[in-house]
Amino acid sequence: MSTPDQSNKIAQFVQITQATPAEASSALSAANWDLDSAVTLFFEGKGELDNEQHEQPQASAPVSSASSSTAPSRSQSKSSKRFATLSDLEHSSQAAGGHSDSDDEPEKNWFTGGEKSGLAVHKPNKRDVFASGNKLVEDIIKRSQRQQQDDNSEGESDGEETSHFVGTGHRLGNHEVPSQAISAGPSSSRDRPPRVTRTLTFWRNGFSVEDSPLYRYDDPSNIPHLKAIEQGKAPISILNVEYGQGVDVHVIRKLDEDYAAPKRKVGGFHGHGQRLGSPVPGEKSKSPTPVPEPAVSRSAASESNTPAEPENADAPVQIQLGDGSRHRRRFVGAGPVQQLYDFVDSVSPSQRAYTLQTTFPMKKLEDRDISLKEAGLVGSVVIQRWD
């Protein structure tokens, strides 16, 4: 670029910015003699310089043993550097973004290109990635963090309330009006339901309360719930609380995960069972009620109907009837199985058809002509089973 053009741009720069010709030349040179870019860089650098002057003064650096020849050059560059280059902006952006790794860190910018020309790339914010209703989500999370800090600093318990006198008072009287007893009115604090706790989880695609289904961000009917929580109000429909009931909301942030339905809790076994060896499977046993008087009368009636044992009885057998009663008796071992059926008919005169069988292994005693010894029933247990 020719010298007259440079002088013309320097004059225009000075007229616009009220800067010195040296500052104008330096700014135009840094912007490749582009007047608009130079003016922009100059004002940006001047704004940063003004902000630094309003801030608290930094501690002075310790005196170094460097040669004095470098001091003038440093002071000269500091005084003349009233505009920012792309490298300066990148350096300031890195310095501002390196203080904290938390979610509330300042926005970062990246720059691409050379020192005199380039593009500024804005870092996308994580909060812009989610669906609608996100600002409310972030506000609720910040509110819960502030509330937690306040609760920790105060050190108060959740259920602590201001105590008031509750009881019966007396109104003093005089010679005309006697004293009167005044009973305490109903206490609203006593009638108030107890304080409860609810867990509010924010997911990438919605939010949930405890084990509830997902409330999506893109559903307009869910936005009023978020607004109510952000304002410190409890939506009765989703928090499952009563009107006027206090609730503590614990916020869990899982914005990088999709909603996962809670696993269903496995409950215990519900039903009824069947005792092995029951006389009639599937039918309730008619066991006698453990009442002393009926038991005595039943026993007396059973003994009156029980025939006497034979003199040559040598085979003990226990018989369990269908009504649950048991009888131990001696029979003739060489006698037939029919004597067992005769005994059952005598102690339990029922018209219902039945069959006698052994327990283990279960075998029906259908052949009534063989002897007890041949059937292997000596010392065994025989059960009456209804047909």
Handedness of CA 115, 116, 119, 124 (dihedral sign): positive
Spell out the SS3 assignment of 252-279: EEECCCCCCCCCCCCCCCCCCCCCCCCC
For the ranges 30-34, 120-124, 330-334, 347-351, the lowest mean pLDDT is seen at 120-124
Strand order in the sheet with 215-216: 215-216, 206-209, 196-203, 247-254
Q: 342, 385, 345: which is closest to 363 by C-alpha?
A: 385
> Rounded CA gap, 135 and 316, in Å?
89
Q: What is the pLDDT of residue 68?
A: 40
Mean pLDDT of 146-175: 62
> For 295-308, how does the pLDDT look when each residue is reduced to its tens digit (9 = 90+)?
444 444 455 567 77
Q: Whats the size of the chain, residue-wise?
A: 387
Question: Cα dist. 24→51, 156, 199 in Å?
Answer: 21, 63, 61
The domains spanning 126-152+194-260 and 292-386 adopt the same CATH topology: no
Cβ neighbours for 288, distance < 8 A, ≥ 6 positions apart: 294, 295, 298, 323, 324, 325
Q: 250, 227, 247, 251: which is closest to 239 by C-alpha?
A: 247
Just give the CATH number of 126-152+194-260. 3.30.420.210
Q: What is the enclosing helix (H) or strand (E) of 152?
A: helix 134-154
Strand order in the sheet with 326-331: 326-331, 315-320, 381-386, 354-358
One-letter amino acid of 217 = Y
Q: What is the share, in percent, of the chain residues with pLDDT greater than 70?
A: 60
Domain ranges of the chain: 126-152+194-260, 292-386
Instruction: Locate 117 and state its tokens.
Output: 């020309």
Confidence of residue 190 (pLDDT cuts 50, 70, 90): low
Under 8 Å between Cβ of 327 and 306: yes
DSSP-assigned beta bridge partners for residue 169:
182
Q: 307, 365, 348, 347: which is closest to 331 by C-alpha?
A: 307
Q: What is the pLDDT of residue 72?
A: 43
What is the CATH architecture of 292-386? Answer: Roll (3.10)
Q: What is the pLDDT of residue 241?
A: 80
> For 246-273, how does the pLDDT look when each residue is reduced to its tens digit (9 = 90+)?
888 888 888 888 988 887 776 666 677 7
Q: Coil, strand, or helix at residue 247? A: strand
Tokens 């429909």 identify what position? 237
How many C-beta atoms surround the C-beta of residue 205 within 10 A? 15
Under 8 Å between Cβ of 35 and 5: no
Mean pLDDT of 24-43: 82
Using the CB atoms, write b or e for 315-332: b if 16+ within 10 Å.
bebebbbbeebebebebb
Q: What is the pLDDT of residue 120?
A: 47
How many C-beta atoms surround the C-beta of residue 88 within 10 A? 16
Report pTM: 0.31
Q: Coil, strand, or helix at residue 207? A: strand
